[in-house]
Every structure is written in C-alpha cells, then in structure tokens.
Amino acid sequence: MLSRTTTTWLGFARRLVTWFAGELVELAGFGPDVEPHTRVTFRAVADAVVPETPVLAEELGPEHVPGGLAIGLDEFAITFVDDGFQLGLPHLGPQGNIPLAEPIAHALDLAALSLVEQGDNEAEPRTERALSLLGPDDPAPAEAEDAVGPFAELSRRDRLRAVGILDEFELTFSPTEADLFELDAGLVGQLVIGFVEMIYYSEWQGYDDFVEPPSLRQHPNEPAAVQSWHQTGFPGFANGYAALRGYLGSNEGSLGAGETWTTIDAEADVRIRHESGSFRENEYDTSDYEELFAVNSG
C-alpha cells in the first residue's frame, strides 16, 4: 500500500509541476483548448455523478441505461466552467473570464490523495478504471495514461467520498501574476455534484448550439431530444409554467385576498387567492434584546 501511495504522490507531483510550467502537450482527440488531464478528470466526475445504470434496463427500459458520458456531460461542464463565470476583470479579456476547469481538476486530485492517505477509500485506485472512460476518438490507452490523475483512478463511490473531503481545504490560485484568488474548496464539491446534476436534467442537450446567445438558440422541445427528459418522462416546457398562479394565504395574516383559486388545506383555510393581501407585523416582543457584541460605530 505504501508503494502504491508513494507512486501516486510522485506521479501527481510530476503532473502538477508540468501544469504550473505550462508544458502539457495536447493529445490528439482531446480537443485543442482543454488539456488531457482535465478532460479525463471531468469524465470521471460525470461518470460518478450520473453513471450508466444497466441494471435499470429490465425494470424501467433501455432508455434508462445511458449516463452523463453518453451525451458529453463532461464536455459541457468544462465549457460552462471555463467560459461561463464572467468576473469582469478587463485584463483577462472582454468578459473577464477565468478558466476554472483545470484548477478544479487538480483540486479533485488533492482530495483523492487525501482520501487514500487516510485509508478511507473502499476500493484500490486503478488506472484502468480511468482509461475505461475514453471514447472511440480518444488516444489509445497507452498514450492517454499519463493524463490520468488520482481522482480518475478511484471507484465511483470513492470519487464521491473524495469530493466530500474538499470541505477541509482552502484553495488559492493565480491565473495571472496580478491576481490571487482564495476560495473554500467546498464550493468545488457543490459545483461538480450539484451543478452537474442540475445541468443533466436541464434542457441544454436539445439546443443546436448552446454557446450561441439565448436569442439565437433553437430548441426542438421534444422529450426524445433530451436524454434526461426521456428518462424522467418530462413532457417539455410550455408557456405559462412559470406564470403567477395567485397568492398563498389564510384568514389570519393572509397575503392573498379575493376569490379562491385553489384550496390547499380547507380545515386550516390555506388557499391560493386571485388578489394580493397585505403584510401584518408580527407579535414578537424584542424589547429586552441585548447585542452580544459591542457595535463599533466609528
């Protein structure tokens, strides 16, 4: 076990030095703008968060087998993370973007190493596990092996455990010599799990080109065009779903007035009403409240 851990640390250190030196060579098939280690790591994210589920084929049907990798969820997440966070820093370009996918991939590797060091992984890390995520247009496993980081070597369950460890970290990174950013690494966990789940069940897959401005995007609005819609039986979006349906209230302190639209609880007289009501002040007595800490008015 010690030999395995030492080897993992040395391999990660070598990749990290290469990353900071900016000398990673692009591998054919991974795309021109994203270095291969980031690609493999985000594939491991998508595979863990929205995995293939062949066991559901017999019970629910074959449409429930494909996971996030079947529709390029990893590629979408990288594109959105790198291009979607516009911080308004003029010296970083017209939109002030900071590409975050690469530092996020290395943060996940640090979490994976911590998981293994603590002995909290259930399965032994294996490079073959990560190489199995490669697609038909990717480099051969022998060529891609150097792009595999510790996170991608973990089992699906262990990857999710590693993400939980991120709450213990504070991250700093400098995209330029003039910028230093600090953040709670727990935000990375929310991004790679909560955000990835959210976008999987959104409508993004149906757009002909999601990177186009919203006014230029075209969407067929067909459940068959969006894998997650097909799996969940969502019928597609329709005008009026987000429309105001009335005002929730009761006879006591009601925010709704006028005729009843829908009754929620007849016994408690909780109803949705057509017209807005009015706020009322609460009856809490706070006259004896004392500030625990002195307030510096200066």
Name the token pair of 223: 């459940």
Give the pLDDT of residue 289: 67
Domain parsing of the chain, residue ranges: 2-200, 244-298
Give the pLDDT of residue 11: 44
Give the pLDDT of residue 5: 42
pLDDT lower than 70: segments of the chain: 1-33, 85-96, 173, 175-176, 240-243, 251-254, 279-286, 289, 291-298
Name the token pair of 143: 């060529």
Name the token pair of 78: 């990288």
Give the pLDDT of residue 295: 53
Give the pLDDT of residue 291: 64
Q: What is the CA radius of gyration of the chain?
A: 25
User: pLDDT tens, 28-67?
Assistant: 233 345 788 999 999 999 999 999 999 999 999 999 999 9
pTM: predicted TM-score of the whole model, two decimal places: 0.69
Average model confidence (pLDDT) across the chain: 79
Crossing angle of helices 101-117 and 2-21, rounded to 10°: 160
Cβ neighbours of residue 145 closer than 8 Å, sequence gap 6 or more: 127, 131
Cβ neighbours of residue 236 closer than 8 Å, sequence gap 6 or more: 221, 222, 223, 229
